[in-house]
Structure 1
Amino acid sequence: MTYLSRIRINPLRAGSRRLLSNPRVMHGAVTGGIPGPAGSERVLWRLDADDPRRPHLFVLTRSKPDWTHVIEQAGWPDADGEHAAVRDYAPLLRQIAAGREFAFRLTASPVQNTQMPNTPTPAQAARLAARIDSKRARGFRLGHRTVAAQLGWFLDRTERWGFDIPASRTDPAAPGLDPRTPEGTPVAASQNINPFREVRITQRQRHSFTKSGKGHRVTFHSATFEGRLRVTDPTAFTARLLEGIGPSKAYGCGLLTLAPVPAQKG
């Protein structure tokens, strides 16, 4: 079975401040909620801090978890309400069908692979120097840093992930006001080439920390995408729901969550 959990975090507690400031520490807390041996299953998680006073931790697990330790260290153990909601994921998976639309949220780490960084770091320069005689050298994975590049990374891959992003339902801009369209070009024609899509980036972040407090430094960029999607390949889409999207999954990236599409006003 598969379970989706939502855990309330109290940001004022000392334990929660450590979790909120370091994805490596949060990863340890998340894997600590799994009853099986360490590394027995891949866990996807995401921290939603839209309201910094009431952040929520979402976790997708294959086995039923126990979040008592997180609640005691970083939640409201004596307060009213549901501290950790754990729900069976099967009812949602049964709703997946071609053409079905959902509202979605995804925090991912958009990256590109290159053989030659434009401005290599000292570590990258050392790798370049060491591979001079290698014919099949491994490339470098670099994070996209601009909104345009991150959004392009996302939209270029939705087809292989089993969904697409519908065109925006808002009215097109008047001629001359659309930054994509030269003045005098019919807006309708430009919409067919590069229509606005029902997706936006709501948060962008640079993460940098060391493993175990010393040694190798982990650095990556993340972006949170929100919008509306339409399922095109139920099998591929279900796989992305269960296995995650993109790299840095251990550090809070890759979990795609869904919600019913809000009713449209006629």
Structure 2
Amino acid sequence: MYLTRFRFNAARTGARRLLTSPQMLHAAVMSSFPEAPPTPDGGPRVLWRIDYNSAAEVLLYVTSPARPDLTHLVEQAGWPTAEPQGWSTYDYATFLTGLSADSVWAFRLTANPVHSIRRKEGEPTKRTAHRTPRYQIEWLLKQQDRGGFAIVEKAPEARRLERGDEYELAVGGARGLSFSKKSSSTGKDSSAAAGRNAVRIAAVTYQGRLRVTEPEVFRLRLASGLGKAKAYGCGLMTLAPVV
């Protein structure tokens, strides 16, 4: 496994085009590999995430089973003449192997918190996004047991009365993503097909602290992602030492 970081040159037209289209950015990320990486159900896969740290610092993070080559992204949306090559790739497998039970980490995650609802009896269930921080937090808390981690709880004196404030956790950066999948036969959408092919994603960013409870389970979750919409910039959790 590898972890790669790439910085966009947000002043370039190519960068702005990619950043406004999850579908185009997904295609650009997947083009970083000479052979198409597998996307096994529940196993390690290619994940990516955009971090908007400031107007001038927009970062792409990618985790992948194979080492990527982002030359095309540098040419379209980076600094082609700058040194070094324009991206950094790290040995992620060694980091994952070193994760131990009860270790505490700061984390960042962009995810698509959804649930299935049925508006009336007999109707099929429909996947719907959680829109409020309370339910977005509850969604992440439900991922803990099967994810091999636990969100760190605050000391009692540091808590307020709101639901969710008992945890070292913040949720924000909500973004609505909407686009139409292109037809595989023509590469375009007809007006009739556009509605049927529309993709709408509600992405939010979580930041906080967690404790590793089951290292093997947690390693697999980091490599395979959390939640839905993994192809469109959701599901990638990254860790940093607690300062």
Q: TM-score range by the shorter chain?
A: 0.7 to 0.9
TM-aligned CA deviation for residue 147 of structure 1? 1.1
TM-aligned CA deviation for residue 209 of structure 1? 0.9
CA RMSD in angstroms comes to: 2.1
TM-aligned CA deviation for residue 168 of structure 1? 1.8
Within-5 A mapping of 1:152-171: 152-169=138-155, 171=157
Instruction: Say if 2:230 is the partner of 1:244.
Output: no
SS at match of 1:148: helix
Query: Which AA in structure 2 matches 1:204?
Result: A
For residues 89 and 156 of structure 2, the distance between their equivalents in structure 1, rounded to whole angstroms, comes to: 36
SS at match of 2:171: strand
Instruction: Say if 2:68 is the partner of 1:65.
Output: yes
Residue 235 of structure 1 corresponds to which residue in structure 2?
216
Within-5 A mapping of 1:5-16: 5-16=4-15
Query: Which AA in structure 1 matches 2:38?
Result: S
TM-aligned CA deviation for residue 179 of structure 1? 3.4
Larger radius of gyration: 1
For residues 230 and 218 of structure 1, the distance between their equivalents in structure 2, rounded to whole angstroms, comes to: 34
In terms of fraction of residues, the more strand-rich structure is 2
TM-aligned CA deviation for residue 54 of structure 1? 1.6
Higher mean alpha-carbon deviation, 86-95 vs 53-62, is at 86-95
Query: Which AA in structure 2 matches 1:28?
Result: A
Residue 225 of structure 1 corresponds to which residue in structure 2?
206
Within-5 A mapping of 1:1-266: 2-37=1-36, 40-41=38-39, 42-81=45-84, 83-116=86-119, 138-169=124-155, 171-172=157-158, 178-180=160-162, 196-212=166-182, 214=189, 215=194, 216-262=197-243
Query: Which AA in structure 2 matches 1:217?
Result: A
For residues 71 and 155 of structure 2, the distance between their equivalents in structure 1, rounded to whole angstroms, comes to: 44
SS at match of 1:159: helix
Query: Which AA in structure 1 matches 2:177?
Result: H
Unpaired segments ≥5 residues, structure 2: 40-44, 183-187
TM-aligned CA deviation for residue 156 of structure 1? 2.2
Query: Which AA in structure 2 matches 1:34?
Result: F
- Partners of 2:10 and 2:77 within 8 A in 1: yes
For residues 101 and 74 of structure 1, the distance between their equivalents in structure 2, rounded to whole angstroms, comes to: 35
| Superimposed CA distance per residue, residues 21-75 of structure 1 (whole angstroms, 9 cap, x where no aligned partner) | 01111000000001113x5343100001121212010001111110000001000
For residues 203 and 142 of structure 1, the distance between their equivalents in structure 2, rounded to whole angstroms, comes to: 18
- Partners of 2:6 and 2:61 within 8 A in 1: yes
TM value normalised by structure 1: 0.80
- Partners of 2:137 and 2:164 within 8 A in 1: no
TM-aligned CA deviation for residue 97 of structure 1? 1.3
TM-aligned CA deviation for residue 195 of structure 1? 6.3
| Superimposed CA distance per residue, residues 84-115 of structure 1 (whole angstroms, 9 cap, x where no aligned partner) | 00111122112211101111100000000122
Unpaired segments ≥5 residues, structure 1: 118-127, 181-192
Query: Which AA in structure 1 matches 2:147?
Result: W
- Partners of 2:178 and 2:199 within 8 A in 1: yes
Count of residues in correspondence between the two structures: 227
For residues 99 and 209 of structure 1, the distance between their equivalents in structure 2, rounded to whole angstroms, comes to: 41
For residues 153 and 75 of structure 1, the distance between their equivalents in structure 2, rounded to whole angstroms, comes to: 35
For residues 233 and 145 of structure 2, the distance between their equivalents in structure 1, rounded to whole angstroms, comes to: 23
